[in-house]
Amino acid sequence: MVVGSVMKSVIDWELTPQLFEEQLDLMIEQASFFGKVLPLPIPISNANTSQLILGLLSRVDCSGCDSACCKAGSEEIAMLPEEYEDLKAKYPEVMKDIILEKDHVSVPCPLLKDGRCQVYPDRPMVCLVFPIQFGAVIGGPSGTDLENAFALSSLCPAAKRLTREIYLYRYQMRRRLKRLKIIH
Ligand code: SF4
Ligand code: SF4
């Protein structure tokens, strides 16, 4: 559960379908390469946050992934002292050698065993909402309408697939609305 660094993304929605897909693939590749988050075209100010988080999480398909989120990255896994205390009380055996360093545990997560989270039903908040991240800024090609946006972690394969789907859906919807003269 690595918290990605801020990613500023300017998307050109006026490109042809092929160029738009190329732009999208490049954005995803660069975010992944540089360990940045994947900004979504969903401004935080416009969203019903909890519904959106639930909707996004319900679309995360972990099949074929070997718990990359619990192992990868150079940063730590955030765990609040209250979460740590609750886990210690409920899972004393599992937690007996786990050290909380201020507000995090190390990576790979020491709670992962044989590819499974030993405290899954009570995993920390950062794990509950993964791969959703915050700290992205997105806007149009002019750069004049930059807004804080939802984002996904680029280390998560499911997040990359989902990011692609969301952008392509939005792009196709935009084209349709323009064709129907509903937007300009
Ligand atoms: S990295 Fe993404 S796809 Fe892999 S286990 Fe974690 S949430 Fe699922
Ligand atoms: S607490 Fe569980 S879900 Fe969270 S990083 Fe550790 S092993 Fe993965």
Q: Which tens digits make up the pLDDT trace of 12-47?
A: 999 999 999 999 999 999 999 988 889 888 887 766
The verdict on the CB of residue 69 being under 6 Å from ligand 1 is yes
| Predicted local distance difference test score (pLDDT) of residue 180 | 95
Ligand 1 geometric centre to CA of 42 (Å): 21
Collapsing DSSP states into helix, strand and coil, what is residue 135? strand
| Predicted local distance difference test score (pLDDT) of residue 11 | 86
Locate 100 and state its tokens. Answer: 């909380």
Residue 134 above 80 pLDDT? no
Domain spans, the chain: 1-60+131-184, 62-128
| Predicted local distance difference test score (pLDDT) of residue 106 | 85
The verdict on the CB of residue 104 being under 6 Å from ligand 2 is no
The verdict on the CB of residue 123 being under 6 Å from ligand 2 is yes
pLDDT tens per residue across span 51-107 = 888 999 999 998 889 898 998 765 678 899 999 999 999 999 999 999 998 888 888
| Predicted local distance difference test score (pLDDT) of residue 140 | 58
Put residue 21 in one of left, alpha, beta given phi > 0 → left and psi -120 to 50 → alpha: alpha
Residue 150 above 80 pLDDT? yes
The verdict on the CB of residue 62 being under 6 Å from ligand 1 is yes
Q: Which of 69, 111, 132 to mutate to test the pocket of ligand 1 (most atoms within 8 A of CB)?
A: 69
The single-letter code of the amino acid at 80 is L
Indicate which ligand has the atom closest to the C-alpha of 62.
Answer: 1
Contact 77, 105 (CB under 8 A): yes
What pTM was estimated for this model as a whole? 0.84
| Predicted local distance difference test score (pLDDT) of residue 75 | 67
